[in-house]
Structure 1
Amino acid sequence: MRSDRVRLLQTLPHGCGYYRGRTAQNLVLDPSAADLPELYAAALGRGFRRAGGHVYIPHCPGCHACVPCRIPVGTFAPDRSQRRCLARNADLELIPAAPGFTPERHGLYARYLHGRHRGGGMDDASDEDFTRFLTAPWSPTLFLELRKDGRLLGVAVTDVCSTGVSAVYTFFDPEESARGLGTYAVLRQIQFARERGLPHVYLGFWIERHPKMDYKRRFRPLEVLRGGNWETL
């Protein structure tokens, strides 16, 4: 990514979303850049991530807990637990759909936040909040819907780029927790990428020993970005 092609902006300090009491900052690609869709594909390989219309990477003074990670599709092999998860959800249909708000999706999203992330600051997400957080006019996004006999059980918000797919966000029916739909969504995104000849599934940031982020190490091999180089964890 050439510095003369895009500006990097630094956010003001804000509360860390992962550790209470810590302050965080991000570097953000200039959201007004005309070639942001092309830059985004390259930025994934540099550890950036999308939230809404912003492509960012943590840049926190004195803290390097957030480590970009990705799954190399060609060498990934599910372990025994993941194979059981695939079998347990063999009755689900995956439907690639256009992104955006629908009452059905928003209802599922609201139930997920209330059931899994209560008190996280997003409990009462409005229609506009849903659209602003999960989509952007320029982003190459699909909503991979997981359905059982037509009933929507989960949505994996997935950006599809030339460098791979980015698992932006997944939400699912909290009453179906026994299915392991979070794990299943990642496994299906790996399959989705493999079928399209895409080399990587980007999982955002891995945080060692964090109760909500350390699960990513279970997808092996997992590559992490350290010192500007991708290496196997």
Structure 2
Amino acid sequence: MSTNFQLGITQSFPCNYLPNQQERLLIATDERLHNSEHYGWLMSQGFRRSGDQIYRPHCELCSACKSLRVLVKEFCLSKSQKRNIKKNNVFTINVSTEKKAIYYPLYENYINTLHTDGSMFPATADQYNSFINCNVTEQLYLEIWHKSELISVAVTDILKDALSAVYTFYHPGYNKHGLGVFSILQQIALAKDMLKNFLYLGYQINECKKMNYKNRYYPHQVLIENSWQTVNK
């Protein structure tokens, strides 16, 4: 794209993932970028969204955050991922294109039980709506049900050539089922069924335990110095 667009830079603030680090974000402030076509291009340049804010890490002294996307057409299940699917085959998968009121109680329970040490605790409706609502691109919601109980929701953006995993939350009582992994595997399968090339998983941070799981899905690509590098197992 040869058109010039306006970007903004935030002030530095304490990093949510790495201790003793300062975080700074590059923000796509130009409203012309806030549509599905341009957002897809921004994703390929390492950006993501939270609500309608489109951002990319732009830290002065750190480059730990690496955008990662799975090559869905070439994806191969590992032994542990096959076990995860087998363990969870009692659950039902449903894909919704509408956000449902039953999602928020599940989100609230998830945050207030499993993430009491995180920046999103305590959960509030305003906070939930600020990240889940989106006017930039279409979304789908990958639901996991156990009989008549909703136990997991994976918020997923739809792009021209990809899906993007935005956020997944689940019932804490099913914590031992690996629903985070199961949701990603279902998103990969869905992306393949929709003839997409990629599933964007966000930022891989090797030094952060809660953000270093994304590189377990092979093959994948990591954005390094503005070039996508393929990683095979």
Smaller-chain TM-score bracket: over 0.9
Question: Which of the numbers 139, 161, 164 marks the counterpart of 1:163?
Answer: 161
2:8 pairs with 1:9: yes
2:77 pairs with 1:53: no
**Alignment-mate amino acid for residue 165 of structure 1:** L
**Take 1:35 and 1:212, find their aligned partners in 2: how far apart are those partners?**
29
Given that 2:33 and 2:39 are in contact with CA atoms closer than 8 Å, whether structure 1 keeps it comes out as: no
Alpha-carbon offset, residue 46 of structure 1: 1.1
Alpha-carbon offset, residue 187 of structure 1: 0.2
| Larger displacement relative to structure 2 (111-120 or 32-41) | 32-41
Residue in 1 aligned with 2:179? 181
Alpha-carbon offset, residue 120 of structure 1: 1.3
Question: Which of the numbers 216, 220, 223 marks the counterpart of 2:218?
Answer: 220
SS at 2:210's partner residue?
Answer: coil
Q: Gapped runs of 5+ residues in structure 1?
A: none
2:86 pairs with 1:77: no
SS at 2:180's partner residue?
Answer: helix
Residue in 2 aligned with 1:131? 129
**Take 1:34 and 1:23, find their aligned partners in 2: how far apart are those partners?**
27
Question: Which of the numbers 118, 138, 142 marks the counterpart of 1:144?
Answer: 142
Given that 2:7 and 2:30 are in contact with CA atoms closer than 8 Å, whether structure 1 keeps it comes out as: no
1:117-165 Cα distance to aligned partner (Å, 9 max, x none): 1131322222221111122123311111111112110000000101200
**Take 1:219 and 1:136, find their aligned partners in 2: how far apart are those partners?**
27
Residues 35 and 212 (structure 1), Cα distance of their counterparts in 2 relative to 1, 3 Å cut: closer
Given that 1:141 and 1:159 are in contact with CA atoms closer than 8 Å, whether structure 2 keeps it comes out as: yes
Residue in 2 aligned with 1:28? 27
**Take 2:195 and 2:115, find their aligned partners in 1: how far apart are those partners?**
34
SS at 1:33's partner residue?
Answer: helix
**Take 1:58 and 1:35, find their aligned partners in 2: how far apart are those partners?**
18
Alpha-carbon offset, residue 35 of structure 1: 5.0
**Take 1:210 and 1:34, find their aligned partners in 2: how far apart are those partners?**
31
Q: Gapped runs of 5+ residues in structure 2?
A: none
Given that 2:87 and 2:177 are in contact with CA atoms closer than 8 Å, whether structure 1 keeps it comes out as: yes
Residue in 2 aligned with 1:153? 151
Alpha-carbon offset, residue 62 of structure 1: 1.2
Residue in 2 aligned with 1:232? 230
2:62 pairs with 1:63: yes
| Larger displacement relative to structure 2 (16-25 or 66-75) | 16-25
TM-score by length of 1: 0.93
**Alignment-mate amino acid for residue 41 of structure 1:** G
Alpha-carbon offset, residue 100 of structure 1: 3.3
**Take 1:113 and 1:145, find their aligned partners in 2: how far apart are those partners?**
17
Given that 2:14 and 2:23 are in contact with CA atoms closer than 8 Å, whether structure 1 keeps it comes out as: yes
**Alignment-mate amino acid for residue 39 of structure 2:** Y
SS at 1:39's partner residue?
Answer: helix
Residue in 2 aligned with 1:204? 202
**Alignment-mate amino acid for residue 2 of structure 2:** R
**Take 1:195 and 1:222, find their aligned partners in 2: how far apart are those partners?**
18
| Larger displacement relative to structure 2 (207-216 or 62-71) | 207-216
CA RMSD of aligned residues (A): 1.5
**Alignment-mate amino acid for residue 69 of structure 1:** L
**Take 1:213 and 1:34, find their aligned partners in 2: how far apart are those partners?**
27
Alignment of 1:94-133 (within 5 A): 94-100=93-99, 102=101, 104-133=102-131
Alpha-carbon offset, residue 76 of structure 1: 0.7
